[in-house]
Amino acid sequence: MKLGLISLGCSKNLVDSEHLIGLMVARKGFEITNDLEKADVVLVNTCGFIGDAKEESIQAILEVAEKKNSGNVKKIIVAGCLAQRYAEELISEIPEIDAVVGTGEIHKIEEIVDAILEDDKIVKCDSFEFLANAGTERILTTNPHTAYLKIAEGCNRRCTYCIIPQLRGNLRSRTIEDIVEEAKALAANGVREINLLAQETTEYGIDLYKKKALPDLLKELAKVEGIEWIRSYYMFPNSLTDELVEVIKNEPKVCKYFDIPIQHISGNILQNMARAKSGDHIKSILNKIRTEIPEATIRTTVIVGFPGETEEDFEELKEFVKEFKFDYVGVFKYSREEGTVAHDLENQVPEEIKEKRWAELTNLQAEIAEIKNRGMIGKVVEVMIDGISSESEFMLEGRTRGQALDIDGKVLTNDGTAKQGEIVKVKIEQNFEYDYIGAIVENEKK
């Protein structure tokens, strides 16, 4: 039987998708197809974090349901965060769905497939048992030289706007030994870049080791032969320690890349969000990074329109973004989600004000990015080649250590001598938005 996949949402969800299809191929003998019209079974791995993501997930399910009604698709499996959050509603309101699989039930996909092939309908969303290990079947969907590596699942924090703990459970960390074993297996199959994922990577290990163990993990991963770049995402400001900064500063394989979602800078809003201790605390952490590692790339996300956000609060945030000059900023409009504390807070901000503030901050960051990007012209940077460019078949594209997979832009070059996965040096000649164009000046042939 042929299996089609639609994977939505974040990179953490993509890893779940890779495990799901890996299990279905290894244990049930499915053949993967990229053409949904030829699929017997379609797996839709959904996102349910905010309103827009929920709408995208529902639309994807409905489109597959149409294919089931009119085409070859025989069975539909819905998994992921939306499935965990609205399991009963989904299977009752969209009768084409055959199975709903929660985030903690991925390891039960074999019995779920058996059930639906017998024409049963099944919902498995009762527990948060699943935590992948180095032996869990997985099929990579990224380029063969790069992979995401999930080091933990769930979250112990209770940010007032966030539904994730209800969808993923509490923090469950993998052991350092198990993660290193998976990294070695990835390297043996040609992976050269690993991207570490968790809800909060800086919280990694607290449950197992009674301390923030990301620095220890990074040092062990850096010993893995064949891995050249290591990047960590989703760093919680309160948990970013001096030890972690030192490891990132001094370990050559670890990219000087900090993904730190601050969400806001106003003390009042941070307190209502249950986020960082204070705006001053965030500033001290970020300034320490810039002092210790001037060349570091710093990405953040912020939320505008959180309940009670005044014009003064927004101006404070805007002024800080202008002053600090992040390399990348993701600006999100607050999404009011049922089941969260923030849903019931007073002083909800009107949508038109959220939209106005989103536009102002997005435009400000675009101006900052343009100045920063122009400053790259003439520099020689290390680039990992991802393959033929999506812009032109006559160009290659890759990324610097400061450009994370799929979110931070890319480097284009018309030099066709480099191969996918090779690390080269490129002299930047021009920029276009977040992309750079340059010529290879040295191929290290690593």
Q: How far is CA 434 from the centre of its chain?
A: 18
Binding residues: 10, 47, 81, 155, 159, 162
Between 176-188 and 214-221, two packed helices, what is the crossing angle to 10 degrees? Answer: 30
**Measuring CA to CA, which residue among 269, 377, 262, 231 is closest to residue 329?**
262
195 - beta bridge partners? 148, 231
388 - beta bridge partners? 396
Binding residues for [4Fe-4S] cluster: 10, 47, 81, 155, 159, 162
- How would DSSP label each residue in 179-248? HHHHHHHHHHTT--EEEEE-SSGGGTTHHHHSS--HHHHHHHHTTSTT--EEEE----GGG--HHHHHHH
With contact defined as beta carbons under 8 Å apart, do 52 and 82 qualify?
no
With contact defined as beta carbons under 8 Å apart, do 344 and 319 qualify?
no
Burial of 350 (0-12, 13-18, 19+ CB in 10 A): exposed
358 - beta bridge partners? none
Residue 7 backbone dihedrals phi, psi, to 5 degrees: -115, 120
51-72 burial, b for 16+ CB within 10 Å, e for fewer? eebbeebbebbeebbebbeeee
With contact defined as beta carbons under 8 Å apart, do 320 and 278 qualify?
no
Handedness of CA 188, 422, 8, 198 (dihedral sign): positive
